[in-house]
Each structure stands twice: as structure tokens, then as C-alpha cells.
Structure 1
Amino acid sequence: MNPILAACGNDCSICPRFMPKTEAQLKSTAELWYKIGYRDHLVDNEEIKCNGCTTDNWCRHGIVGCTSERKLENCGQCEDYPCPRIKEAFENTAKFIPDCRKCCTDEEFQIMKKAFFEKKKNLNDWHEKCK
């Protein structure tokens, strides 16, 4: 399966939140997000599901707004890549790796790794293609 990259380089095609998902899959994802510490309480399926990045969605680093303004699909297509904004996103994402290793099964961790922890690799690959 070809990756579906978010603006920040997350691989939506493997993300446990990206739709379509069953109600049971969403519940399991909500439980995982709570276990890892991505949420401070167990959220409902409506809150955990994701249909992809838009400027209306909350983005901690303002990446979606930036790529939207520049009319780019993701940061890897940007001439300023890697900028301080995406570097901060890489650093913040990496902070969750130890907790994921502790809390997740091997299978869960591999999904999290592919979906979120390889964003820098994903964007580097895109950036090389755009040169």
C-alpha cells in the first residue's frame, strides 16, 4: 500500500485513527491513546476518528496551515524543508517513543512507528523526489 502522508509526514494509510475504521477499532485506538498518554482520559469514537488534516483541525505546530498557505501536500515538498517548525514536530514526536515501547505490544509499536515515528524519513523521501 502506498502511504497517504499528512502534512507533517505521518503515514495516514497505517494510522489507527484514519478512517474508515470499525467502531471496535476506534475504541481500541482510544484505549491505546489513553494508555500511551496521547489523551488524559478515554475519549469516545467520534473524538478519536480522523478524516485527515484540514486547516480546521487542530495542529500543534501549525504545519497544516503552513502547507495550505504554500499550496503543498506536505512539508517534504517545501523549498524551506526542514524548517524549525517541522524540526520541532520531529522532536516532540520522538518524545513519545519510550512510552510507546513500554505500553505497546510489539504489533502496536510497529504500527505507531510506521504511522508516526517515521515522519522525518517520509518527508526526506518526498523532499528528495521534489529536487
Structure 2
Amino acid sequence: MEKITLCGDDCLQCPRYLAKNAEELSKAAELWFRVGWRDRIISNDEIMCTGCTSHKQCTYQLVDCTKANNVRKCNQCKKFPCEKITNMLIRSDEYKQKCKAVCTQEEYRMLEAAFFNKENNLKK
């Protein structure tokens, strides 16, 4: 089973998506702050994630873009890979470097599996 987001993230590898209790959510919130994905440590309710849906705000504006182009996934679009995807992959690589610098090996391994295989996941 797979759960790949529009931007190529793998929910089934994500510590935030997989968090099952308050302690795991708190660890995810602290990690998201440390790597720069949040400007503060947010509450467990705020960090909890059930996956991307069309009603959520997309950092990369991909939800609106897929709707506008009448496709379910980015790789179905005639413009793929577009500037939004290229910019997202550049940004993701910057996050990857930051994660290498501030994460333990275990944290980095989890984040790499969840977030840094976007390009391959998008082509599936």
C-alpha cells in the first residue's frame, strides 16, 4: 500500500503522520521546529496529520494547480514537470541539507524516506 502526496511525500514513512500518541506528536513538533518547517514548537493538535486532502493549504500550491489543470496528480498534467515542481524539488533539497545538519541519523533516515524521494515518487 502507498500513500504518496501531490508533492511526492510518502505519508507511510512520515513520523508526523505515523504518530500515535502524545509523546510521538510532541517529538514530531520539536523535530519540525528544529528543521525549520515551523517557526515554533506547535501543539499536538496542530502537528497531527491525517494526510493531504483537497481542503488543506498546500505549501507548493499544488492542490489548486491540479484542480485548475483538471488532473488528480501532478504527473498526469501535460505541463509536468512544471516550474512549481522544479521549485519544490529545489526547496526540498535545501531542507534535506538542513536535516542532515540538525538531525540524528535515525531522524534523518525517517525524514529522507518520507520527504526526500519526491522526484521518484512523483513519477509513479
Q: TM over 0.5: same fold? A: yes
SS of alignment partner, residue 79 of structure 2:
coil
Q: Which runs of 5+ in 2 are unaligned?
A: none
Matched, 1:119 2:118: yes
Q: Distance in 1 between matches of 2:25 and 2:63?
A: 23
Structure 1 partner of 2:47: 48
What is the identity, as a one-letter code, of the residue corresponding to 1:57?
K
Structure 2 partner of 1:15: 14
CA contact (8 A) 1:19 1:49 kept: no
Number of residue pairs aligned between Structure 1 and Structure 2: 123
Q: Deviation per CA, 1:55-103, whole angstroms, max 9, x where unpaired? A: 321212210222244241x322333211111111111111111210111
- Most deviating of 11-20 and 108-117: 11-20
CA contact (8 A) 1:7 1:75 kept: yes
SS of alignment partner, residue 17 of structure 1:
helix
Q: Distance in 2 between matches of 1:65 and 1:109?
A: 30
CA contact (8 A) 1:12 1:115 kept: yes
Q: Distance in 2 between matches of 1:19 and 1:60?
A: 20
The TM-score with structure 1 as length reference comes to 0.84
Matched, 1:100 2:114: no
Q: Distance in 1 between matches of 2:41 and 2:75?
A: 33
Q: Give RMSD over aligned pairs.
A: 1.6
The TM-score with structure 2 as length reference comes to 0.89
Identity among equivalent pairs (%): 36
Give, in angstroms, the shift of residue 32 of structure 1: 0.5
Q: Distance in 2 between matches of 1:97 and 1:123?
A: 17
Q: Which runs of 5+ in 1 are unaligned?
A: 127-131
Q: Distance in 1 between matches of 2:18 and 2:95?
A: 23
Q: Distance in 2 between matches of 1:89 and 1:3?
A: 21
Structure 2 partner of 1:110: 109
